[in-house]
Structure 1
Amino acid sequence: METSQERRLVPIAPAPESGNVEQEHEAERVAPDPPAMKRKRTMTLVACDGCRRRRTKCDGKRPRCGQCIRKGEECQYEAGEGETVLLALKKKYRNLESEHARYKELFYLLRTRPARDANEILHRLRTAEEPLTM
């Protein structure tokens, strides 16, 4: 095995042949033609539920995207217009947290109130269309 002192370095580029070094440096400074630019894909913030399920490219048009129009399907979006999927999920999470807290409060009332009051609450629950609005 040879040591680093014995190793010979190989030049990276050949030495210039002509004596005019300035001309060669000028030729290096001129940029070659840029490669053909690829067309940039447009990004859609939110794909409709159908395109997400089918895993197809959605153009994000509302009320119906191009894919759903072509397929003759209903087009629904989980997120509102101008809203990302992440924001829609956070909003949904906050709503579920709030609803969960109201149900916990309702069960707490049913457990801790006297039987007569609990029966009244149950009666109101059965007659209400939306239990948490009572």
Structure 2
Amino acid sequence: MKIIYENLEDLFGLFDSNYQTIFDSMISYGLYNKIGVAFLIASILFFAPFYFLYKNPYARLFPHWTVTLLVSSLIASTATFFILRQGLAEYILDSDQEVVAFTNNLILFYTITNLLLAALFGLAISFLLRKGSKVQPHLPF
């Protein structure tokens, strides 16, 4: 997971060598893996029941699937926020306001990133799960 997030940091110009200790802490505390697993688990935990346990054969409406996608994405981003707030607490409470501001921006970036990654993974997993579903084989499209 670290590779995905490091590439996104480089892509959006977020990495700053002045704050290398924050990124090193994320690696040493395993935060990249924790937030990566958060979006994967949230998507799977919401979409697997939707396709295999939700027994409404008349859920042909796109909103049922959309609500599942939104809820799983929001849960993933909320989990990301709390994982990072706990893991980077020492930098949030730092006396240097630049470190605090950078840490808060980093947390916001990862929260939004995981929201989008959870939505993309939810869409991708939907196409896989619908093949095995007997009730919802027509969703998402």
With normalisation by structure 2, the TM-score equals 0.30
Query: Greater Rg, structure 1 or structure 2?
Result: 1
Q: Which fold has the larger relative contact order, with Cα–Cα distance below 8 Å and residues 6 or more apart in sequence?
A: 2
More helix by share: 2
With normalisation by structure 1, the TM-score equals 0.31
